[in-house]
Amino acid sequence: MRFRRTLIAAMVSFTVLAGTGAAAAGAAVSDEQIAITTPPAGSKAWAQDHWLGRTMPDPATAKATEVAAFFASLTGAEQQRLVRTYPLVVGNFDGAPTALRYQANALAMEQELARQKDRAANPALSGVQRSVAAGQVATLNKLLVPGRQFLVFDPRGRGLVAEVYGDLATAQRVSVLVPGSDMDLQHFDRGDTATPLKGAAGMAQALRAEEQQVSPGTGTAVIAWSGYVTPVGLGADAATARLAEAAAPRLERLLAGLALTSHPDAAPTLLCHSYGSVVCGIAGPELHSALGISDMVVFGSPGMDQPDAAALGDGVRLWATARNPGDWIGNVPYLEVAGLGHGADPTSPDFGSRVIASTGAVGHTGYLDPGSASLRNFADIALDRYRDVVCGNNNGGCISGL
């Protein structure tokens, strides 16, 4: 184990030194994160609750079809009682009605806000603990704005969250954005800063705005899914697939639930940034075979833990975004050795991706910059406007056969 950690540190330091300098390398190796693989708080009490006179679907094992059937069998009053009693369970239950999940997650956020306010004012806690609680209060106050729609909220650890932009009930086209490292409750929404595209919320909003501009008559919805524990910094977690392997089943359940609670004209498009492309690569074969996911876009990718695009499944269109010159991810060694690294570069000629242009994008988080070719390409792919996609080499090869 010590040797493996040393090897990870060496790889990371080499990568960072190559891309950002020695000062950054000294801070690159971060603590390992604990993946969240269990259902949210309240799940045990939910499973033991017999007030309905029947067995409740198990939040740890129930399939989306079982969940949907269960909620469909309830009266409105029964649904509301479950929301009030188990907001975290209902709010995170894939297959439950979307409107109920929005309501439950808003209630769970309000309860967490009250808890953090108490902690921030508690003199028995240390100054650091009160400061952290005050930061959570500020974050939750920003998220608890009327009209926001949260499909996921779990305050455990650094916090999990997913927000919907648009109307899932009427959307003709749905996109799911899977972010990479350093994304959590605190960093999800950076809309009031100079760099909103560093947050999953800002990325999703940029995509939906572009979709509406390209095709104003098409109903769209974009989900910013920060529903997994992401790596922090460029340490061991970023160099291995451990967190992505824990995240993949969560992404699969989300999409299985969407298949029952939304009715777009086609399966959702996945847009996977940085480490998020590792999550999508691992989940990809199951998402295609079980749910018909056909369009997957990766950008700023360190690799997908797949040998090539064909490994995602016959019929999957993998769109790999050409790296812009300012993206440091190009300094990552595209290889896998003893579980370290994420394999081949999806933009390489032999990977089998459809490589699309990113002209106008700047840096690792700039692929959704307004006016960039990559943002327009993402919208065209999500809207099934393949003929308008600009290829990375401008020869039209990426849309061949479509």
Q: Is the pLDDT of residue 374 over 60?
A: yes
Same domain? For 323 and 182 the reply is: yes
Confidence band of 13 (pLDDT split at 50, 70, 90): very low
Domain final residue, candidates 146, 171, 191: 146
The verdict on residue 95 lying in a domain is yes
Confidence band of 194 (pLDDT split at 50, 70, 90): low
The verdict on residue 27 lying in a domain is no
Same domain? For 53 and 188 the reply is: no
Same domain? For 104 and 218 the reply is: no
The verdict on residue 365 lying in a domain is yes
CATH of the domain at 322: 3.40.50.1820
Confidence band of 233 (pLDDT split at 50, 70, 90): confident
Please, what is the average pLDDT of the chain? 91
Domain final residue, candidates 113, 146, 179: 146
pLDDT > 70: percent of the chain? 92
Domain final residue, candidates 111, 146, 181: 146
The pTM is what? 0.92
**What pLDDT, on the 0 to 100 scale, is given for residue 16?**
41
Residue 210 in tokens = 């572009």
Same domain? For 275 and 215 the reply is: yes
- Burial of residue 145, with CB atoms counted within 10 A of its CB: 0-12 exposed, 13-18 middle, 19 or more buried: exposed
The verdict on residue 45 lying in a domain is yes
Same domain? For 189 and 336 the reply is: yes
Residue 164 in tokens = 């919907």
Provide the domain limits for residue 275.
1-21+157-402
Residue 307 in tokens = 């040998």
Same domain? For 179 and 104 the reply is: no
The verdict on residue 30 lying in a domain is no
Q: How far is CA 252 from the centre of its chain?
A: 12
Task: Residue 265: name the closest of 171, 176, 177 by CA.
Answer: 171
- With beta carbons less than 8 A apart as the criterion, state whether 301 and 274 touch: yes
- Burial of residue 371, with CB atoms counted within 10 A of its CB: 0-12 exposed, 13-18 middle, 19 or more buried: exposed
Dihedral sign for Cα 108, 287, 303, 239, please.
positive
The verdict on residue 239 lying in a domain is yes
Q: How far apart are the first and last CA of the chain?
A: 48
Same domain? For 139 and 171 the reply is: no
Same domain? For 333 and 188 the reply is: yes
Same domain? For 213 and 91 the reply is: no
The count of domains in the chain is: 2
Dihedral sign for Cα 298, 303, 307, 313, please.
negative
Task: Residue 376: name the closest of 146, 216, 158, 213 by CA.
Answer: 213
Q: How far apart are CA 258 and CA 107, in angstroms?
A: 22
The verdict on residue 31 lying in a domain is no
The verdict on residue 32 lying in a domain is no
Same domain? For 140 and 217 the reply is: no
What tens digit of pLDDT does each residue of 238-284 get?
Answer: 999 999 999 999 999 999 999 999 999 999 999 999 999 999 999 99
Same domain? For 307 and 356 the reply is: yes
- Provide the 8-state DSSP code for 66: H
- The backbone torsions φ and ψ at residue 226, rounded to the nearest 5 degrees and listed phi first, read -105, 55
Same domain? For 17 and 43 the reply is: no
